[in-house]
A and B are shown apart, each in its own frame.
Chain A
């Protein structure tokens, strides 16, 4: 039983991290209709910036996190301005947007690799003593990761559903052209969407780095979050979160009870099988193309 609770908490924490990534992916997809491959690199970038802030600049954790978030936002918005928006104004097909995104990703990840090397690094934070509840050891970091991730998501929800800017973004996710005709500033929306992406990916990167390790290819976990959000049903942020939580918990269970080697394999198979039975995702809204 203790093992189960431990795995559950761990699973919730990784699910929370996946949720951040899944929401970031879903947000960009629902407004701009393409997969932001660079997301992978942003996450690694965020983790490494946090890492550097602590190890080279001796910042306290909260400052390092802020430092990382700000830099990642700059990277994310910069990518949008330089690599995506020139294509979007030309109505470039989705394939071209994805190629550009993959280009940014390749550059980012490999620059990190060049500068830092491929060594797996431990995120330099004092491993706090786990909390014991009823004899079950629960990682403090897991709780923090889960708590903060959900906090960030809650803030995002408030932003999207209770502010004017959020309304603009939601309108744009339905139809960019109409939204701009109604007076919504597309440039502002782009900056905000990618700034949010930057925040989500850096926070996820830091927590992932704490939970596992910091290394250039760490962003690869974003594909799990991407698939989870697609299968949960895009166009639907809560579904992205639900999909990620289910995935996080299930895969941790597999890792704990069967073997960690097969964890990723399981995740991938799980997602394929879900898709076979639910060809339209679990909770998705269909996007009707205007004919």
Chain B
């Protein structure tokens, strides 16, 4: 109980008359990798938005490492250890790939304002160290050759990887990936699966991954569990095999069979 990294209880949010997330509860242990799937509009990204406080819940609790993070500003939540990527990719378009990743390291500046104006040896050392770490992350996601390219000029697939590197730069304990495989073909998906697995094993983050590519989800979550969301409510939880054979899940995705 005390070991949990994320504990969400009865999370609910209403937008006008629509209940986008309805009484969702789940628990995550440190280092766990879980999937979050569901038809479009099920509320998956909304849950990410709630966890990072991009939007405020109507009801429920969100506890990170045992403490509530409700009402904390998004930047504070990031500093506490939760980071994410975005469904619609939100890189800093005119900054280079390197600069995008580096931002994750210094979003909370590592030296004082005075040292910014007169760069002390200590500040310079910090900057050199940060540069090294940023390049390591870029290398990990295979973007080192593109480090000087403007983020907006990168192809879509590379942008998704860049976003992951940037999120990792904030040194999270919980990493939220929002459809990292969107728009990828099978080969790219396989590379992505390898990359995400490597990230998980080397960095040890707890991770929640929203994804629509079933093979990606089933592969990465084969030793773990998948949450299925539909119309804002948790429909099912289970291993990939259990989920795939769950009639409610099938019905949610394919709809009711027609009877003439």
Contacts and interface: CB of A to CB of B under 8 A. Distances in A.
Direct contact of A and B (CB under 8 A): yes
Interface of A: 288-291
Contacts of B111: none
B88 interface: yes
Interface in B81-128: 86-88, 90
Contacts of A291: 45, 48-49, 54, 86-88, 90
A290 B88 contact: yes
Contacts of A289: 54
Contacts of B15: 288
7 contacts: A288-B15, A288-B54, A290-B88, A291-B48, A291-B54, A291-B87, A291-B90
Please classify how large the interface on chain B is, using the bins under 10, 10 to 19, 20 to 34, 35 or more.
10 to 19
A288 B55 contact: yes
Nearest to A288: B55
Contacts of A290: 88
Q: Which of A288, A289, A290, A291 has the most CB of B within 10 A?
A: A291
A96 to B, nearest CB: 13
A288 B45 CA distance: 14
A210 B159 CA distance: 58
Interface string B40-59: 00000100110000110000
Contacts of B90: 291
A291 B86 CA distance: 7
What 7 A-B pairs come out closest when comparing CB atoms? Answer: A291-B54, A291-B49, A288-B55, A291-B86, A291-B45, A291-B87, A290-B88
Contacts of B48: 291
Interface string B54-67: 11000000000000
Interface string B63-75: 0000000000000
A283 B49 CA distance: 24
A291 B15 CA distance: 15
A289 B15 CA distance: 13
A56 B88 CA distance: 57
B242 to A, nearest CB: 30
A3 B48 CA distance: 58
A93 to B, nearest CB: 10
Given A288-B15, A291-B86, A291-B87, 10 more contacts: A288-B54, A288-B55, A289-B54, A290-B88, A291-B45, A291-B48, A291-B49, A291-B54, A291-B88, A291-B90
A288 B49 CA distance: 11
Contacts of B88: 290-291
Contacts of B87: 291
A289 B87 CA distance: 13
A205 B144 CA distance: 59
Nearest to B16: A285
A288 B13 CA distance: 13
A290 B55 CA distance: 10
A272 to B, nearest CB: 23
A288 B86 CA distance: 15
A123 B90 CA distance: 53
A290 B86 CA distance: 10
B70 to A, nearest CB: 17
A288 B90 CA distance: 16
Nearest to B55: A288
A291 B178 CA distance: 10
B181 to A, nearest CB: 18
Nearest to B178: A291
A92 to B, nearest CB: 12
A89 B87 CA distance: 23
A291 B48 CA distance: 9
Contacts of B49: 291
